[in-house]
Structure formats: C-alpha cells, structure tokens
Amino acid sequence: MQDLKIFTTDLYNFEKDVIYRSEDTLILVDFWADWCVPCISISPNLEATVNEMNGSVLLMKVEVDVDENMKLVSEHDIRGFPTIIMFKNREEVARFSGFQSREWIKNWIYKYL
C-alpha cells in the first residue's frame, strides 16, 4: 500500500506539486541521490515523521540525478545532499542539510505548523 503523504516529484511538476500545493499544506522537499549515504539514512526518519503528522505535512522526494532534476538544485541554491526544504504559502520557510534524528525533524516541523 502506497503512503498518501509521501510523493515523488521532478523538475516539470515541481511548481504544481510543491509551490502551489504549499498554499494549503506544509510541504517538505527531500533533495536526495541514490549514491548519497546520508540521504538513504535520513529517509526513514523523514517518512516516519511525516506519517506521524496525520496529513498536516507532506513529503516530496526529488532524486537529483534523474532527468533534468539537477536544475532544481541550482534554482534552490543547494550545496549538498540531502537537503530538505520546507515550503509554506508558496515560499521557502526553512531548510537543513545532512542527517538528523526523527525527534529533531519533528521539532523542526512543529516550529512552522
């Protein structure tokens, strides 16, 4: 069964999936790569935290090495992976890079709900 709070997006759908959707819901965007060990390590923490939040936050995953997704990396001035960017009301409101615990991620999200 697919989780309805975790999605994949790309360069072509980013505006619809993230920017416009952030008018109604807090959106986290996980910029990751399959060769990045911290990216793989943080994924379960992000997914579990989002699942605990009962739809008040959604997770969009962007694999940077797929198609033209690397253009999003430069558009959003990302310097390393993973980088998680939070969008609210069509704007970036926060970001972090690197591995963080579930508890840290939960506290970070609650500041913006």
Residues noted as catalytic: 36, 39
- Partnered with residue 91 across adjacent β-strands are 88
- Partnered with residue 63 across adjacent β-strands are 32
d(CA 73, CA 62): 10
d(CA 45, CA 99): 9
